[in-house]
Structure 1
Amino acid sequence: METARISTDLDFRSAGEADVPALVALVESAYRGDSSRDGWTTEADLLDGQRTDPAGVAAVVADPHGRMLVAEHGGEVVACCQVERREGHVYFGMFAVRPGLQGAGLGRRVLAEAERVARDEWELPEMRMTVIVQREDLIAWYARRGYTRTGELSPFPYGDERFGVPRRDDLAFELLVKQLS
């Protein structure tokens, strides 16, 4: 697959139940294990275990208040993200780009599509997300796209292996916010 071409030839759609296995594999490959080291979004130095599971992805796909956006190139899933309507804002999560394709502008396009859905389709003025505070490179990427650090922290769910097995004891999430209107 040619990375430069993908950045100009990308189709978006909402995920369905049949997409769950491919989406789980995509998210896992972007964040966990050796394959995640092919990209820059890896959390492999912070967490072992899984990033998500089929039940978690299926719940996002079936959620009537949100959608799992899928980015395809030539019929192949190359990126995804979750957008969920909440009171007065949209939550952005489960964002993944195939590791070997990271750094080619796909992430920017997926994020822009999520913001378009929030602003134009759902008419909500704000996007929110949480990012592990130790992921300074990722937080800086979001900041370059207009997201503001709030300083509002929430604890990592230690003991709940559905979200991974921490390799350190100081993990926390920070809330990032962007005004869309």
Structure 2
Amino acid sequence: MDAAAPLTFRPATAADVPALVALIESAYRGDSSRAGWTTEADILEGQRTDPEGVLAVIRKADSRLVAVESGGELVACCQLEHRGEHAYFGMFAVRPKLQGGGLGKAIIAEAERFARDEWGVAEMHMTVITVREDLIAWYVRRGYSRTGQTSPFPYGDERFGLPTRDDLEFELLTKKLR
């Protein structure tokens, strides 16, 4: 990636699916994910997503999978879903070797701007695995609030990975956008 190249944000297409799956997997699973700080390799094995899941997000009504490029290279992605008065932010992945340099901050700021200005939503929602304290702290520094509302991890559904511990759950984080 050329550090001077501007970021471009565009809706992902079906043609992007293989590259997006590879990016998401590299950011969260296996040894390659350990080059960044967002790895889930210590709590989950197996896959993070699959081509069918990524394509479903691309095709879903009121949803947008954003491909983020720099110098023509895919460097990150995120999902935005319009859910009435709020938007859901998910499937956020930054190339591991580019993590920690401000790229994530720029992407989440653009996602919030888009949700507020294009969809007119008042709030952004996301869910984060509760044992990911470092990641939750990063979102809190970006203005997100912990709600204490939790939902169960989908144990037994290998599409979301193979947990290495039995205490996983998601917490809802929210941020007012206006």
Same fold (TM over 0.5): yes
Say yes or no: does 1:73 pair with 2:67: no
Match of 1:58 in 2: 55
* Structure 1 residue matching 2:109: 3-state secondary structure: helix
Match of 1:135 in 2: 132
TM-score by length of 2: 0.98
Task: Quote how far apart the aligned CAs of 1:63 are.
Answer: 1.2
* Structure 2 residue matching 1:5: 3-state secondary structure: coil
Match of 1:48 in 2: 45
Task: Quote how far apart the aligned CAs of 1:74 are.
Answer: 1.1
Q: 2: CA distance between counterparts of 1:174 and 1:104?
A: 26
Say yes or no: does 1:155 pair with 2:129: no
| Long gaps (5+) in structure 2 | none
Q: Deviations over 1:45-95 (max 9, x none)?
A: 000000000000000111121101111011110000000011211000000
Task: Quote how far apart the aligned CAs of 1:5 are.
Answer: 2.9
Q: 2: CA distance between counterparts of 1:12 and 1:112?
A: 12
* Structure 2 residue matching 1:44: 3-state secondary structure: coil
Large movers: runs of 4+ above 2 Å: none
Identity %: 70
2:112 aligned residue (111, 115, 119): 115
Task: Quote how far apart the aligned CAs of 1:177 are.
Answer: 0.2
Q: 2: CA distance between counterparts of 1:86 and 1:23?
A: 23
Cα RMSD, aligned residues only: 0.8
Q: How many residues align?
A: 178
Say yes or no: does 1:91 pair with 2:80: no
Task: Quote how far apart the aligned CAs of 1:117 are.
Answer: 1.1
Verify the 8 A CA contact 2:112 2:177 in the aligned structure 1.
yes
Q: 2: CA distance between counterparts of 1:139 and 1:5?
A: 29
Verify the 8 A CA contact 2:84 2:121 in the aligned structure 1.
no
2:142 aligned residue (124, 142, 145): 145
Q: 1: CA distance between counterparts of 2:73 and 2:171?
A: 32
Say yes or no: does 1:178 pair with 2:171: no
TM-score by length of 1: 0.96
Matched to 1:142, the amino acid is Y
Say yes or no: does 1:166 pair with 2:163: yes
* Structure 2 residue matching 1:170: 3-state secondary structure: coil
Q: 1: CA distance between counterparts of 2:98 and 2:4?
A: 11
Q: 2: CA distance between counterparts of 1:33 and 1:152?
A: 29
Say yes or no: does 1:5 pair with 2:9: no
* Structure 1 residue matching 2:57: 3-state secondary structure: helix
| Long gaps (5+) in structure 1 | none
Matched to 2:105, the amino acid is R
